[in-house]
Amino acid sequence: MTSYISLPTYSSNIDERLRMIAGKCNQCGTLAYPQRPVCIKCGQNKFERVPLSGEGKIYTFSVVNGGGAPSEFDEEQTMTGDVYCGIVELEEGPRVMVRFTDINPEQLKIGMKVRAVVRRLYDQEGFLRYGAKFTQVA
């Protein structure tokens, strides 16, 4: 199991990932994060770039126990154990699959307010990959 992303693909959408930029369909106004080639509601392919707040609530969550994550996360799982991930419903509406950070796992709960923070994800092909993880809003 792997979530391999080539360096050119990773680099092509780094702005969207690190700055939480969504695509807002020029035809119907539907927000997509990450942006897709065409709108899932009306099929149009023209978008306005819209910054998101990076805040939302946990819609659902899960635990990937040691050894169950993609190979890129082997080093992290060796150091920290389980990986906590889930779906966050952003304030602006889109639901996104995320990883959690800096949250006591026993405190994770549906409806918890969280916000995006930039964190190291993994090392692949000798390059550190960064992206958004979500942490609890104080």
- pLDDT at position 1 over 60: no
Among 92, 109, 97, 102, CA closest to 138: 102
Domain for residue 2, yes or no?
A: no
Domain for residue 30, yes or no?
A: yes
Q: How confident is the model at residue 18 (pLDDT cuts 50, 70, 90)?
A: confident
Its domain, for residue 47, covers: 7-136
Could you report the per-residue pLDDT of 70-99, keeping only the tens digit for each? Answer: 666 666 666 667 888 999 999 999 999 998
Domain for residue 85, yes or no?
A: yes
Under 8 Å between Cβ of 96 and 90:
yes
Residue 95 CB contacts under 8 Å (≥ 6 apart), including other chains = 59, 87, 88, 89
When comparing pLDDT for 11 and 92, which is higher? 92
Phi/psi at 25 (nearest 5 deg)?
-60, 130
Domain count along the chain: 1
When comparing pLDDT for 126 and 85, which is higher? 85
